[in-house]
Structure 1
Amino acid sequence: METTNPPNIPEPVTSQPQSMAPMQMTAGGDKNALNKPVSQDGTRDWSFGLFSCFEDCGTCCMSWWCPCIVYGKNRQRLSHLQAQGVPHPDGGETINSDCLVSCLVGSVGCGWVLNMGARSDIRQRYHIEGSGVGDCCSSYWCLPCDLVQEHREIQLEERSFGGAKA
């Protein structure tokens, strides 16, 4: 004989509520500050074109004359954003270990090789379309423009924090 509960009496609870996984917080600021359209695969284009480097004359000149300094600051700023989730308090040091390595490698004409990896890291952080071949070509054929483009992408995120040095 089967027993049923009288009407208006709920069924007994037979299991405990399950806990939910905590929400993952992603540290950092606005990674698409200019609201570039995002494709179906979740990627977007660079915020600034490769040849818009002249819009930031100071960084452009530094990239032509001392690319190792811009490379080193870009790497340090990006590393700080990734590790701490906030901009580097000083905007990155002018001379650091990445700068020195870039200077040494650049002195034999291979600075672009280091920058290929940095460009890939930036594309991954900001979900920017591209490939290793594109990173190689832009780093090899126009390293100064490439460095400025990367600098400006990082700068947009830093500025999204408000009051951040960039």
Structure 2
Amino acid sequence: MSHPVIMNQPQIVTVQRSDWQTGLFDCCDDCGVCLCGIFCPLCLGCQIASDMDECCFFGSSMAMRSVYRTKYGIPGSLLGDFCAVMCCGLCATCQLKRDINKRRDMGMF
């Protein structure tokens, strides 16, 4: 009986932990994002989805926030994402867009 020969060891990918670039209620950090969120939240959600190469329908959802948080090692939980989106959806959407913009400016997105 022949056994397969392993040529390479599996690689372990570690995600560097970080925090949100701005707080949930730091709307004044980027007034353009805030105004877009107030007057056209669907447009802001579509911008987020486009940034993340996802369907526009999922732009400001709990799932999108969770995927983003996991990708960048931002501490939190599904319950926290759910509460942020359900209790303060506009603030959560603006926070996500501000974070994307700041990470893009730093060359991390």
Name the TM-score, length of structure 1 as normaliser: 0.51
Structure 2 residue runs without a partner (length 5+)? 1-6
**1:58 equivalenced with 2:13 (yes/no):** no
User: Equivalents in 1 of 2:104, 2:20: separation in Å?
Assistant: 16
Task: Kindly indicate whether the alpha-carbon contact (under 8 Å) linking 1:44 and 1:129 is maintained by their aligned counterparts in 2.
Answer: yes
Task: Kindly indicate whether the alpha-carbon contact (under 8 Å) linking 1:70 and 1:147 is maintained by their aligned counterparts in 2.
Answer: yes
Q: Aligned residue for 1:132?
A: 78
Matches within 5 A, 1:39-50: 42-50=16-24
Q: Aligned residue for 1:116?
A: 62
- Measured after TM superposition, the shift of residue 42 of structure 1 is 4.8
- Measured after TM superposition, the shift of residue 159 of structure 1 is 1.6
Structure 1 residue runs without a partner (length 5+)? 1-18, 27-40, 81-96, 103-110, 162-166
Q: Which has a greater percent of helix? A: 2
SS at match of 1:79: coil
User: Equivalents in 2 of 1:59, 1:47: separation in Å?
Assistant: 14
Identity %: 29
Q: Runs ≥4 in structure 1, deviation > 6 angstroms?
A: none
1:104-143 deviation per Cα after TM superposition (whole angstroms, max 9, x unaligned): xxxxxxx9xx510110011011110011111111111111
**1:156 equivalenced with 2:99 (yes/no):** no
- Measured after TM superposition, the shift of residue 20 of structure 1 is 6.0
Task: Kindly indicate whether the alpha-carbon contact (under 8 Å) linking 2:22 and 2:29 is maintained by their aligned counterparts in 1.
Answer: no
Task: Kindly indicate whether the alpha-carbon contact (under 8 Å) linking 1:78 and 1:154 is maintained by their aligned counterparts in 2.
Answer: no
User: Equivalents in 1 of 2:70, 2:92: separation in Å?
Assistant: 16
